[in-house]
């Protein structure tokens, strides 16, 4: 039996795992119901299990692997995790689940998961055959030709903007940008296409749009020029340019990199939906190394996003970073134990320290448009609002966001630790820590 550990998640953190509000509402009701005939916590890996009365004669079997976490329930629900798994987590977080030996059906589930993981690792480690290698080289060659043609067309378009001027773009709408972006998608350069689409709203963004657009066009011109001649770049910068163009890097390639072990704190999360594709950005910060990391995942309509990294927790784990001049995106390569509660993340930064970190990242990768910061200070209202640190230095909140009254209410005029995304327009708050608990911003 594993050693007892503190419940790693509060009710709010469990709520963050729920696929929708109705599932969490049902889970809260179910957590206090009398239909639980057995629950337990323990085993290797650390897990939760329970038997809960359902609509049939046999109770539902709920299994949760806390290390990832992962879930299984014998109920027919298509939601993931279901209300029974959420309810079991709520019972555990409130101290209603005792440490005990797992039943056979829980052990069989964890053993089968371990076997599948080992088989997947073995398949990933197996070398490709000569035929597979030749086919991969042919595909890579065709893609390189297509991308090169797309880059050449983009550089011509950028030259045309300088030659003919941008004065009329505020009347043209999104069409000129969308036409170029669509051709870049066809050329298998989705990163460049996304960069062009980010330009489209600028001509209608109010006074001063000309300067903002010219600055972004300059960065795009720099990227297109670098992408046209990657062999002339240092290896790490070439990897950055390749990722900005949209060249995919396999998980196996990332996992082959040097792992960084730390107590990784989940300091902020954000979900976005674009063209029916939902993305989840999970921001991590190493407690000992102070390094930032981004774990990015995607889901198509009807698919569930991963829920293995919970806001307000930390995990002893090894991360491997995607290659680049300012490594940020990473994958969790190995976990060493279950996540634990982290109500006070750190080390928190001053404004000067945060800006030094952002500046170093921008010097290595000038195309960055967001970077995670963890800054301690007080909120100051204004136009825009600011976060003011104990030294009197301040960072503005992004004025494009709604006024942060909820964030101000949580802070209550006191000093807080704010997890946020830095961007050129200011900070985008993600979570606030008041010393005892974490709240989404």
Tokens matching residue 383: 């136009």
**Do residues 79 and 173 share a domain?**
no
Last residue in a domain, options 322, 341, 360: 341
Q: Which residues pair with 40 in a beta bridge?
A: 49
**Do residues 116 and 28 share a domain?**
yes
**Do residues 305 and 319 share a domain?**
yes
Last residue in a domain, options 205, 220, 245: 245
Tokens matching residue 103: 């039943």
Look at residue 3 and tell me if it is in a domain: no
How many whole angstroms separate alpha carbon 295 and alpha carbon 271?
12
What are the CA-CA distances from residue 126 to residues 113, 114, 136, 309 (Å)?
20, 19, 16, 29
Say how many domains are in the chain: 4
**Do residues 238 and 260 share a domain?**
no
Look at residue 135 and tell me if it is in a domain: yes
Last residue in a domain, options 319, 341, 363: 341
User: b vs e for 308-344, b when ≥16 Cβ sit within 10 Å of the residue's Cβ?
Assistant: bbbbbbbbbbbbbbbbbbbbbbbbbbebeebbebbee
* Domain assignment of residue 114, given as a range: 11-125
How many whole angstroms separate alpha carbon 289 and alpha carbon 86?
33
Look at residue 346 and tell me if it is in a domain: no
How many whole angstroms separate alpha carbon 8 and alpha carbon 14?
10
**Do residues 90 and 159 share a domain?**
no
**Do residues 308 and 383 share a domain?**
no
**Do residues 138 and 82 share a domain?**
no
Look at residue 195 and tell me if it is in a domain: yes
The pTM of this model reads: 0.78
Residues 100 and 107 sit within 8 Å (Cβ to Cβ) = no
**Do residues 230 and 140 share a domain?**
yes
Tokens matching residue 223: 């990227």
Residues 235 and 309 sit within 8 Å (Cβ to Cβ) = no
**Do residues 48 and 100 share a domain?**
yes
Residues 250 and 239 sit within 8 Å (Cβ to Cβ) = no
Predicted local confidence at residue 237, as pLDDT = 95
**Do residues 336 and 386 share a domain?**
no
Predicted local confidence at residue 4, as pLDDT = 43
How many whole angstroms separate alpha carbon 190 and alpha carbon 196?
10
Spell out the per-residue pLDDT of the chain, length 441, in tens: 444 455 556 787 788 788 888 999 999 999 998 899 999 998 877 899 999 998 888 999 999 998 778 899 999 998 888 999 999 999 998 889 999 999 999 999 999 988 888 887 777 777 778 888 888 889 888 999 999 999 999 999 999 988 888 888 888 788 889 999 999 999 999 999 999 999 999 888 888 889 989 999 999 999 999 999 999 999 999 999 999 999 888 888 899 999 999 999 999 999 888 777 888 999 999 999 999 999 999 877 666 677 778 888 899 999 999 999 999 999 999 999 878 888 889 889 999 999 999 999 999 999 998 999 999 999 999 999 999 999 999 999 998 888 899 888 988 889 999 999 999 889 999 999 987 778 887
How many whole angstroms separate alpha carbon 263 and alpha carbon 317?
6
3-state secondary structure the chain: CCCCCCCCCCHHHHHCCCCCHHHHHHHHHHHCCCCEEEEEEECCCCEEEEEECCCCCCCEEEEEECCCCEEEECCCCCCCCCHHHHHHHHHHHCCCCCECCCCHHHHHHHHHHHHHHHHHHHHHHCCCCHHHHHHHHHHHHHHHHHHHHHHHHHHHHHHHHHHHCCCCHHHHCCHHHHHHHHHHHHCCCHHHHHHHHCCCCHHHCCCCHHHHHHHHHHHHHHHHHHHHCHHHCCHHHHHHHHHHHCCCCCHHHHHCCCCEEEEEEEEEEEEEEECCEEEEEEEEEECCCCCEEEEEEEECCCCCCCCCCCCCEEEEEEEEECCCCCCCEEEEEEECCCCEECCCCCCCECHHHHHHHHHHHHHHCCCCCCEEEEEEEEEECCCCCEEECCCCCEEEECCCCCCCHHHHHHHCCCCEEEEEEEECCEEEEEEEECCCCEEEC
**In this structure, is the dihedral angle defined by the CA atoms of residues 241, 245, 247 and 253, taken in order, positive or negative?**
positive
Tokens matching residue 291: 């390094």
Look at residue 2 and tell me if it is in a domain: no
Look at residue 1 and tell me if it is in a domain: no
**Do residues 116 and 15 share a domain?**
yes
**Which residue in 71, 65, 93 sits closest to 7, CA to CA?**
93
* Residues 6 or more apart in contact with residue 403 via CB below 8 angstroms: 385
Predicted local confidence at residue 155, as pLDDT = 95
Look at residue 6 and tell me if it is in a domain: no
What is the number of other CB atoms lying within 10 angstroms of the CB of residue 119?
A: 10
**Do residues 229 and 262 share a domain?**
no
Look at residue 107 and tell me if it is in a domain: yes
Question: What is the domain-level CATH number for residue 298?
Answer: 2.40.50
Q: What is the residue whose two structure tokens read 């390639």?
A: 253
């Amino acid at each position: 039996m594993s050693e007892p550990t503190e419940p790693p998640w509060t009710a709010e953190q469990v709520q963050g795992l729920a696929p929708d509000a109705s599932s969490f509402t049902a889970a809260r009701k179910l957590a206090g119901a009398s239909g639980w005939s057995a629950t337990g916590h323990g085993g290797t890996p650390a897990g939760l299990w329970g038997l809960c009365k359902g609509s049939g004669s046999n109770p539902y079997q709920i299994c949760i692997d806390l290390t990832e976490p992962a879930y299984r329930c014998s109920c027919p629900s298509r939601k993931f995790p279901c209300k029974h798994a959420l309810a079991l987590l709520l019972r555990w977080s409130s101290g209603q689940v005792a440490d005990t030996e797992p039943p056979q059906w829980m052990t069989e589930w964890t053993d089968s998961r371990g076997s599948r993981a080992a088989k997947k690792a073995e398949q990933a480690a197996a070398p490709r055959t000569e035929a597979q290698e030749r086919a991969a080289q042919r595909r890579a060659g065709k893609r390189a030709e297509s991308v090169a043609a797309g880059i050449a067309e983009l550089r011509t378009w950028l030259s045309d903007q300088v030659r003919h001027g941008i004065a009329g773009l505020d009347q043209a709408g999104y069409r000129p940008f969308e036409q170029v972006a669509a051709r870049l998608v066809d050329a298998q350069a989705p990163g460049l296409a996304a960069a062009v689409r980010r330009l489209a709203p600028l001509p209608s963004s109010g006074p001063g749009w000309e300067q903002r657009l010219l600055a972004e066009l300059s960065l795009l011109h720099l990227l297109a020029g670098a992408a046209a001649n990657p062999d002339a770049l240092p290896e790490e910068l070439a990897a950055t340019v390749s990722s900005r163009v949209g060249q995919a890097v396999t998980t196996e390639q990332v996992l082959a990199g040097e792992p960084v072990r730390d107590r990784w704190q989940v300091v902020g999360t954000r979900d976005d939906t674009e063209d029916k594709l939902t993305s989840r950005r999970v921001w991590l910060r190493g407690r000992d190394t102070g390094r930032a990391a981004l774990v990015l995942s995607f889901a198509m309509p009807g698919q569930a996003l991963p829920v293995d990294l919970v806001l307000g927790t930390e995990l002893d784990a090894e991360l491997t970073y995607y290659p680049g001049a300012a490594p940020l995106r990473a994958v969790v390569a190995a976990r060493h134990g279950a996540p634990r509660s982290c109500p006070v993340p750190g080390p928190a930064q001053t404004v000067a320290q945060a800006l030094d970190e952002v500046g170093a990242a921008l010097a290595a990768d000038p195309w960055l448009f967001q970077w995670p910061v963890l800054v301690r200070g007080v909120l100051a209202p204004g136009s825009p609002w600011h976060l003011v640190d104990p030294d009197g230095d301040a960072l503005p909140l992004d004025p494009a966001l709604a006024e942060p009254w909820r964030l101000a209410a949580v802070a209550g005029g006191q000093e807080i630790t704010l997890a946020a995304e830095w961007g050129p327009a200011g900070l985008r708050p993600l979570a606030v820590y008041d010393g005892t608990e974490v709240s989404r911003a």
